[in-house]
């Protein structure tokens, strides 16, 4: 005896009561996937290092002090970079940046006091990654200088106050991750996005309407997308310098966000001063010891050939950027930007 299933028919009233789950932005999956990978790598290498694992499975390292001028080690840093950071007070101050979670870590040893978490103690910290790379001895190879367009004697500063002009003679004291010569850098690794800001916040900047076409900005319910990038572009414009994004090739979502911001910039001249560099490109031109460290701790692998694509996801983002460029680079736009 066979049974037939009756089709379930929902009335219009019942359908109205169904909650439709909002679509998940692909960037969240890229961010969480990369965060999981970096966490796994750091769990594997954390044996014998002072660290703790949070309830959310994040790895937080602790500095290990030692007698003598070396000052000890830190599980979140390659030793050569950490020694140079401790030796320069302006760099060492960055280590005190408080973790956004504002919690306290458990003691790392029987004689150690309970301490506050620091931002650069987190295994997924993009600030720590930035300092691991650019504080490394003899990191400024010819390849890295060419990649970033800087000279060998350009000073390196972290946590720079850009002092971007606001209306009424005020200045913005928001931090830029790094400045090398005339290049301002925003570094990302596993962060979900470049933050959001309201149009009201952006309207405070003296040069906002001169630099951007507001209609081309990505508006959401949370505000204008990529607020950090907009601030960085405004800072570069005010100082007559350049602004670049340093992110992972496994984050095509961040690449696409950056290209969308560039597409909203009025001036072609200013667009030419905006750049994108991936950690994978950096890994290809740094000393071998640092390159191995980046692969083991972050899974950042350099390319064997300069013409090799960074990732399928990155290629897709660049293709979308090209289509977007064709849409906004018509004659009318060129006249506006000239």
Cβ neighbours for 276, distance < 8 A, ≥ 6 positions apart: 244, 245, 247, 255, 258, 259
Q: Cα separation of 221 and 324, whole Å?
A: 23
Q: Cα separation of 72 and 251, whole Å?
A: 34
Cβ neighbours for 176, distance < 8 A, ≥ 6 positions apart: 159, 160, 161, 162, 184, 185, 186, 232, 235
| Residue 61: strand pairing partners | 51
Q: Tell me the residue range of the domain where 306 lies.
A: 27-337
Could you tell me if 81 and 89 are in contact, meaning their C-beta atoms sit under 8 angstroms apart?
A: no
Residue 17 DSSP code? T
5 falls within a domain: no
Could you tell me if 208 and 234 are in contact, meaning their C-beta atoms sit under 8 angstroms apart?
A: yes
Q: What is the structure's pLDDT at 111?
A: 58
48 falls within a domain: yes
Could you tell me if 188 and 246 are in contact, meaning their C-beta atoms sit under 8 angstroms apart?
A: yes
163 falls within a domain: yes
15 falls within a domain: no
Q: What is the structure's pLDDT at 23?
A: 45
78 falls within a domain: yes
Could you tell me if 138 and 79 are in contact, meaning their C-beta atoms sit under 8 angstroms apart?
A: no
34 falls within a domain: yes
Phi-psi region of 138 (alpha: psi -120 to 50; beta: other; left: phi over 0): left
- Low-confidence spans in the chain with pLDDT less than 70: 1-27, 66-71, 99-116, 303-338
14 falls within a domain: no
Q: Cα separation of 218 and 84, whole Å?
A: 41
Overall domain count for the chain: 1
238 falls within a domain: yes
Q: What is the structure's pLDDT at 269?
A: 96
């Amino acid at each position: 005896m066979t049974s037939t299933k009756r089709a379930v028919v929902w009335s219009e009233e019942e359908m109205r009561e169904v909650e439709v789950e909002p679509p998940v932005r692909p960037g969240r999956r890229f961010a969480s996937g990369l965060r999981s990978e970096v966490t796994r790598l750091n769990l594997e290498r954390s044996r014998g290092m002072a660290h703790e694992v949070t309830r959310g499975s994040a790895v937080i390292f602790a500095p290990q002090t030692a007698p003598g001028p070396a000052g000890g080690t830190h599980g979140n840093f390659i030793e050569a970079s950490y020694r140079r950071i401790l030796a320069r007070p302006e760099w060492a101050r960055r280590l005190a940046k408080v973790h956004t979670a504002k919690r306290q870590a458990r003691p790392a040893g029987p004689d150690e006091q309970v301490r506050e978490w620091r931002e650069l103690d987190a295994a997924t910290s993009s600030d720590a990654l930035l300092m691991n790379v650019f504080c490394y001895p003899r990191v400024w190879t010819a390849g890295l200088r060419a990649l970033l367009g800087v000279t060998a004697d350009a000073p390196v500063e972290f946590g720079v106050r850009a002092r971007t002009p606001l209306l009424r003679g005020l200045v913005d004291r928001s931090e830029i991750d790094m400045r090398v010569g005339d290049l301002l850098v925003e570094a990302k690794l596993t962060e979900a996005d470049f933050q959001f800001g309201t149009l009201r916040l952006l309207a405070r900047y003296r040069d906002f309407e001169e630099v951007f076409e507001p209609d081309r900005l990505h508006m959401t319910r949370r505000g204008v997308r990529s607020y950090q990038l907009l601030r960085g572009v405004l800072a570069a414009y005010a100082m007559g310098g350049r602004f670049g994004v340093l992110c992972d090739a496994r984050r095509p979502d961040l690449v696409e966000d950056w290209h969308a911001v560039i597409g909203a910039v009025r001036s072609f001249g200013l667009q030419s001063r905006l750049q994108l560099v991936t950690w994978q490109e950096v890994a290809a031109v740094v000393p071998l010891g640092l390159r191995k460290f980046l692969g083991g701790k972050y899974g950042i692998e350099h390319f064997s050939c300069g013409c090799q694509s960074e990732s399928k996801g990155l290629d897709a983002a660049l293709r979308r950027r090209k289509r977007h460029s064709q849409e906004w680079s018509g004659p009318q736009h060129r006249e506006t930007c000239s």
